[in-house]
A and B are shown apart, each in its own frame.
Chain A
Amino acid sequence: MNDKNNPEKYNIFRIFIKGILLFLILNFLFIGINQLPLGKITFYNLLFPGRERFPFGENPSQSYNLTINNIDAMFSSLKIDKQKKKDDEFRILFVGDSSVWGSLQSNSETLVGQINHLYLKTCNGLNVKAYNLGYPTLSILKDLLVIDKSLSYQPDLIIWLVTLESFPRINQLTTPLLANNPSEAKKIINKYSLGDSYQNKIIDNNYWDQTLIGQRRNIADLFRLQSYGILWAATGIDQNLTLPFTPAKQDFENDDSFHELGQHLFNETELSFDVIEKAVNRIDVPIILINEPILISNGKNSNIRYDYYYPRWAYDQYRVLLKTQMIKFNVPYYDFYDLVPENLFTNSAIHLNSAGETILTQKVAEIINGESCHLEY
Chain B
Amino acid sequence: MNLIQVLLFLGGVIIYRLLLDQKGKIWVILIACIFGIFWLQPASIIRNSDYWFPFLSISLIIITWLVITPKKNINTKENLISFLIILAISIFIPFSRYLPIEINVTATLPPQPLSVVIAVFILFIGSVLFYFLKQKNNVYLVHIILLFIITFFILLKSPFLNSKINILLKIISGQSIGTVQGTGSDLRWLGFSYIAFRLIHTLRDFQSKRYQATGLCNYFDYVIFFPALVAGPIDRIEHFENEIKKETNKTQDFIVGGKRLIFGLTKKFVIADMLALISLNSDNATLVKSTFWLWVMLIAYAWMIYFDFSGYTDIALGMSACLGIALPENFDQPYSAKNLTIFWNKWHMSLTQWFRSYFFNPLTRFLRSKEKPISPTLIIALTQISTMSLIGLWHGISWNYLYWGLWHGIGLFIHNRWAFFMQKFTKGIQLNNSLKKVISVFSVVFTFAFIALGWIWFIIPDLHTSIMTFMRLFGSH
Chain A interfacial positions (CB closer than 8 Å to B): 7-8, 11-12, 15, 60-62, 64, 223-224, 227-228, 230-231, 233-237
- For B255, the chain A residues whose CB sits under 8 A away are 15
Contact A234 B297 (CB under 8 A): yes
Interface residues of A: mostly helix, strand, loop or mixed? helix
Q: Does B250 contact A (CB under 8 A)?
A: yes
Q: Does B283 contact A (CB under 8 A)?
A: yes
Partner of A12 from the list B251, B287, B297 (CB cut-off 8 Å) is: B251
Contact A62 B289, CB 8 Å, known A8-B250, A223-B274 = no
Give the one of B254, B278, B296, B297 with max A CB within 10 A.
B278
Contact A62 B283, CB 8 Å, known A11-B251, A230-B296, A233-B293 = yes
Residues 242-273 of chain B: 1 if any A CB is under 8 Å from the residue's CB, otherwise 0?
00000001110011000000000000000000
- For B277, the chain A residues whose CB sits under 8 A away are 60-61, 224, 227-228, 231
Alpha-carbon distance between A230 and B18 when the two chains are bound, in angstroms: 47
- For B249, the chain A residues whose CB sits under 8 A away are 8
- For B287, the chain A residues whose CB sits under 8 A away are 234-235, 237
Chain B interfacial positions (CB closer than 8 Å to A): 18, 249-251, 254-255, 274, 277-278, 283-284, 287-290, 293-294, 296-297, 300
Closest to B283 in A: A62
- For A231, the chain B residues whose CB sits under 8 A away are 277-278, 284, 297
Closest to A229 in B: B278
- For A230, the chain B residues whose CB sits under 8 A away are 278, 293, 296-297, 300
Closest to A220 in B: B274
Alpha-carbon distance between A62 and B278 when the two chains are bound, in angstroms: 11
Contact A235 B288, CB 8 Å, known A62-B283, A230-B297 = yes
Contact A234 B289, CB 8 Å, known A62-B283, A228-B277 = yes
Smallest beta-carbon distance A317→chain B, Å: 47
Contact B290 A233 (CB under 8 A): yes
Smallest beta-carbon distance B287→chain A, Å: 4
Contact A234 B294 (CB under 8 A): yes
Closest to B273 in A: A220
- For A15, the chain B residues whose CB sits under 8 A away are 254-255
- For A62, the chain B residues whose CB sits under 8 A away are 283
Alpha-carbon distance between A116 and B319 when the two chains are bound, in angstroms: 58
Give the one of A7, A64, A228, A234 with max B CB within 10 A.
A234
- For B274, the chain A residues whose CB sits under 8 A away are 223-224, 227
Alpha-carbon distance between A230 and B274 when the two chains are bound, in angstroms: 12
Smallest beta-carbon distance A225→chain B, Å: 10
Contact B289 A236 (CB under 8 A): yes
Other than the given A224-B277, A234-B289, A236-B289, 17 more pairs (CB < 8 A) read A7-B251, A8-B250, A12-B250, A12-B251, A15-B255, A60-B277, A223-B274, A227-B278, A228-B278, A230-B293, A231-B277, A231-B284, A234-B284, A234-B290, A234-B294, A235-B288, A237-B287
Closest to A235 in B: B287
Contact A235 B289 (CB under 8 A): yes
Q: List 26 A-B contacts (CB under 8 A).
A: A8-B249, A8-B250, A12-B250, A12-B251, A15-B254, A15-B255, A60-B277, A62-B283, A223-B274, A224-B277, A227-B274, A228-B277, A228-B278, A230-B278, A230-B297, A231-B277, A231-B278, A231-B284, A234-B284, A234-B289, A234-B290, A234-B294, A234-B296, A235-B287, A236-B289, A237-B287
Smallest beta-carbon distance B260→chain A, Å: 15
Contact B290 A12 (CB under 8 A): no
Closest to A231 in B: B278
